[in-house]
Amino acid sequence: MRNVVLIILFSAFSFLNYAQMPTEEGLATFYSKKFNGRRTSSGEIYRHTKLTAAHPSLPFGTDVLVTNLSNNKSVIVKINDRCSPRKIKIDLSRAAAAKIDMIAAGVQKVRIEVACDSIKSLYLENEMADSAKVGADSLLTSTDSTASVENLFTIQVASVASLKNAKKLADKLNETYGMPSSFRKVKHRKKTLYKVFVGSFANREDAKEPLKALKKTYRTAFIIAN
């Protein structure tokens, strides 16, 4: 009986402790490319392809839900580094920044919530629902893509014949380059093709450096206007 009481008290304390953790709102940035491969404050190596972040005070290993308040897109990241307690509330990895579509902006106002099990479950359900739309949409998004936004430029990397290969390539591009990627279903000479894109840029000039990097592997890549 005593053990049961202790378990109940411990559970209640844990719930209250979590409930007291406030939801934060503030500015988010993301890591510069030069930090890739460097050691974080937790001792882990920073990788721009991982969904991680730096926060002034949350314990290392804490999962948090970060929501871009300009578009309501969210990502769950693990805290494994520290940033100074200034105007910036959180520094995201490039992959995380791409997931909430803030690469082009550089800085965005976000909401930060500690991700309890219910938040994680809801997030995963939404991710699965988004994935289920892939076969039905004419514009198919692999990560969080900004390719459909008007007056932006993107880079077309390839055209492939299968939906599976298009999604696989788009995921690979996002993981490798830390930029949003997408693919679009098109008809060409009575055949179905999937054009694969990466990046979202305010002007053609901004796309030139990423294009150089892409051409080392994808020689036929080129810049297009949306």
In a domain, 11, yes or no: no
Q: What's the pLDDT at 128?
A: 57
Instruction: Identify whether residues 193 and 150 lie together within a single domain.
Output: yes
Q: What's the pLDDT at 199?
A: 85
For residue 161, CA distances in Å to 115, 124, 156, 166, 174 come to 39, 29, 15, 8, 20
Instruction: Identify whether residues 28 and 116 lie together within a single domain.
Output: yes
Domain interval for residue 189: 134-225
Instruction: Identify whether residues 34 and 115 lie together within a single domain.
Output: yes
Q: Rounded distance, CA 55 to CA 40, Å?
A: 11
**CATH value at residue 217:** 3.30.70.1070
In a domain, 18, yes or no: no
Question: Would you state the structure tokens that stand for residue 101, as one six-digit string?
Answer: 């579509």
Does residue 37 have a pLDDT over 60?
A: yes
Residue 183's H or E segment, with its range, is strand 181-188
Q: Which of 90, 121, 152 is the last residue of a domain?
A: 121
**CATH value at residue 48:** 2.40.40.10
**φ and ψ at 178, to 5 degrees?**
65, 30
In a domain, 4, yes or no: no
Does residue 143 have a pLDDT over 50?
A: no
Does residue 16 have a pLDDT over 80?
A: no
The pTM score is 0.53
In a domain, 169, yes or no: yes
Q: What's the pLDDT at 135?
A: 40
* Mean confidence (pLDDT) of the chain: 80
Instruction: Identify whether residues 178 and 88 lie together within a single domain.
Output: no
Q: What's the pLDDT at 129?
A: 56
Instruction: Identify whether residues 171 and 115 lie together within a single domain.
Output: no
For residue 201, CA distances in Å to 78, 142, 167, 206, 222 come to 28, 18, 21, 6, 13
Instruction: Identify whether residues 41 and 74 lie together within a single domain.
Output: yes
Count structural domains, the chain: 2
CA terminus-to-terminus distance, the chain: 67
Higher pLDDT, 114 or 23: 114
- Mean pLDDT, residues 104-110 taken together: 90
In a domain, 75, yes or no: yes
In a domain, 2, yes or no: no
Which of 173, 185, 30 is closest to 110 using CA atoms? 30
